[in-house]
Structure 1
Amino acid sequence: MDIPLVRLGDGDIWSILGMRSVATVLATLVILGAMRLVSGTWPVLVPGRPGLLAGMLYGLSSLTFVLAVFNTATANVVFIVAFNPMFGALLSWIFLKEKPPAATLISMLFMILGVGLIVSGGLSSGHVFGDAMALLSALILAAAITVGRASRRQMGFVPLLAAVLPAALGLAQALPSGVSVAHPGWILFNGAVMMPVAFWCLATGPRYLSAPEVGMFYLLETVLAPIWVWLIFAETPATMTLVGGGILTATIAVHSLWMARRKSVRQVSLM
């Protein structure tokens, strides 16, 4: 629901980025205070250098994501961000020596085709900057997940506290002329409730799953976000976006089923 809530806020990009991020930081501080009262100790906030690096990446991904939302069609954003698990597989292969199976490499080729079709539509409609920001967001988010995977540390609070970075940038740009958001309730709900839950889950997942697998669960947004936007704003995706998105979605589905079957076969063989 992230993109529909941003759109429902109806404000300028810097005001929404600042308000959304500030709400996330404040909600995190409330959660931390409650945990401190209950347990008597502070949870791990930023686990060393890996936590700092992951935090910078999560903060930067928030910026590039909002830039993408404001500069291209919603369907383009979610389908291009669907490239996240493929970036995750490449980064894990390069830095963690977790070589992806042949099926993942084949899936990458199909996903490159799908993203290429979407981006080609963006080039013809003048959305090249927004499409580029969406692709960069997928790469940065995959890098953050890979850092979490490599460290195997508790990263649940890292992306929440990292919202300080986009909050500072957004407010610095918005405050001189005044914060402009027509319906701030949607943005506050998004930042204080939806984002903390989503980022906590996203940052905790790599402790138990590989980076590509975490990215694939993240891709449920790819299927749902264009539906919400179509229902709320009557924004019909372009034909090339639908074709490219269909290729991406089908590739992800087939690859996920293959991975699940491979895992079950391996478990049976070990019994």
Structure 2
Amino acid sequence: MSTALSDHRKGLLLTAIGGLALSMDIPLVRLGDGDIWSILGVRSAATVLATLIILGAMRLASGRWPVLVPGRPGLLAGLLYGLSSLTFVLAVFNTTTANVVFIVAFNPMFGALLSWTFLKEKPQPSTLIAMLFMIVGVGLIVSEGLSSGHFFGDAMAILSALILAAAITIGRASRREMGFVPLLAAILPAALGLAQALPSGLSVAYPGWILLNGAIVMPVAFWCLATGPRYLSAPEVGMFYLLETVLAPIWVWLIFAETPATMTLLGGGILVAAIAGHCFWMVRRRSVRPLAE
């Protein structure tokens, strides 16, 4: 019992660190103050370099390489992770921070739909109810984007959430180790960003923020959030992804004085309430079931 409690606390600590680190992604991108291709290339290249250093250290410590890309499912998931990085950065540069994080929070619902369609995992009624509320929330945010000229950025955020959900669904279907796939997949946006930026020269006013983000913050976030499910249920891990949704707009508001629009706040509030309510319901249901049995 004490071991299970210790593992649960370890999972809570890991996922809390991962969620907090992830919430700093957009503020650090904004602090870098550069053009989109330079930011994409430097941020992604730093992630790849940090991952290779970590892999080399693991090789020296254990005498063998960990699982990197598990076959065709790993290659396909890696391609999708790379594309999601591209669409995410496009969203950051073409709409407000609040719009990006609130819309990308729709990712779990896309995952439920894809699992239902391709894996025949029918969502529970509570999931379907939460999805309806989330559709309303995203609709309010996108309507604000239409009126303020941010439609392209909002569309990229929706596409990023869909692509990321597809990558996660492939990993779930394959049942293989995918821990390093998202990090190594940064090779794709790194190559694209540098190919576009280098001919005219990199344009990043404060590269230190981008290097910090790519080399430390993102690897820590992805590793912690990928390791958390070893100790916690999926709904519990999902709650810590909400930290980015809640905190990223706050960091941007404090640093850049960017106040979200009224409709964005309303739609985002509906999204957060729907996701949080669904996660708490699933956690409670899982904790009550063993007692009943």
Residues 1:29 and 1:58: Cα distance change in structure 2 (over 3 Å): same
Q: Which residue of 2 aligns with 1:57?
A: 80
The 5 A counterparts of 1:169-184 are: 169-184=192-207
Q: 1:145 aligns with which of 152, 168, 180?
A: 168
Distance in structure 1 (CA, Å) of the matches to 2:133 and 2:111: 16
Contact persistence 2:80–2:167 (CA under 8 A): yes
Query: Structure 1 residues 86-95 or 116-125, which shifts more?
Result: 86-95
SS in 1 for 2:80: helix
Corresponding residue for residue 223 of structure 2: 200
Could you tell me which residue of structure 1 aligns to residue 124 of structure 2? 101
Contact kept in structure 2, 1:114 and 1:243, CA below 8 Å: yes
Aligned equivalent of 2:278? 255
Extract structure 1 runs of 4+ deviating beyond 6 A: 206-213
Mark the CA change 1:224 to 1:241 in structure 2 (over 3 Å): closer, same or farther. same
User: Residue 256 of structure 2 corresponds to which residue in structure 1?
Assistant: 233
The percent identity for this pair of structures is 87
Q: 1: CA distance between counterparts of 2:170 and 2:119? A: 9
1:89 to 94, 98, 112: 112
> d(CA) in 2 for partners of 1:229 and 1:22?
24
Task: Give 1:31's aligned residue.
Answer: 54
Question: What is residue 20 of structure 2 aligned with on the other side?
Answer: none
For 1:207 and 1:148, the matched residues in 2 are separated by: 15
1:57–1:140 CA contact under 8 A, matched in 2 = yes
Which position in structure 1 is the counterpart of 2:26? Answer: 3
Shift of residue 208, structure 1, vs aligned partner? 7.5
Q: Once the two structures are superposed, what CA deviation does each residue of 1:68-100 show, in whole Å capped at 9, x if it has no partner? A: 000000000000001011001111111122111
CA distance in 1, matches of 2:239, 2:107: 8
- Whether the 8 Å CA contact 2:48–2:187 is kept in 1: the answer is yes
The correspondence for 1:157, drawn from 175, 180, 199, is: 180
Deviates more, 1:254-263 or 1:206-215: 206-215
Q: CA deviation at 1:206?
A: 6.4
Bigger shift: residues 93-102 or 6-15? 93-102
1:74 equivalent to 2:110? Answer no
1:117 to 140, 151, 159: 140
1:214 Cα deviation from its structure 2 partner: 5.2
Does residue 136 (structure 1) correspond to residue 121 (structure 2)? The answer is no
Deviation at 1:138, TM superposition (A): 0.5
TM-score with structure 2 setting the length: 0.88
Letter in 2 for 1:8: L
Q: Secondary structure at the residue paired with 1:237?
A: coil
> For structure 1, which runs of at least 5 residues remain unmatched after alignment?
none
Q: Which residue of 2 aligns with 1:222?
A: 245
Per mean C-alpha deviation after superposition, the further-off stretch among 218-227 and 126-135 is 218-227
Q: Distance in 2 between matches of 1:207 and 1:46?
A: 19
Match in the other structure for 1:186: 209
Higher mean Cα deviation, 215-224 or 189-198? 215-224
CA distance in 2, matches of 1:208, 1:4: 29
Identify if the C-alpha distance between structure 1 residues 88 and 212 changes in structure 2 by more than 3 Å, giving closer, same or farther: farther
Work out whether residues 84 and 215 of structure 1, in 8 Å CA contact, stay in contact via their aligned partners in 2: no
Aligned to 1:20: 43
Cα distance in 2 between the residues matched to 1:107 and 1:239: 22
SS at match of 2:42: helix
- Give, as a single letter, the amino acid of the residue that structure 1 aligns with 2:247: L
CA contact (8 A) 1:18 1:169 kept: yes
RMSD: 1.6
Between the aligned partners of 1:48 and 1:28, the Cα distance in structure 2 is 19
Secondary structure, aligned partner of 2:123: coil
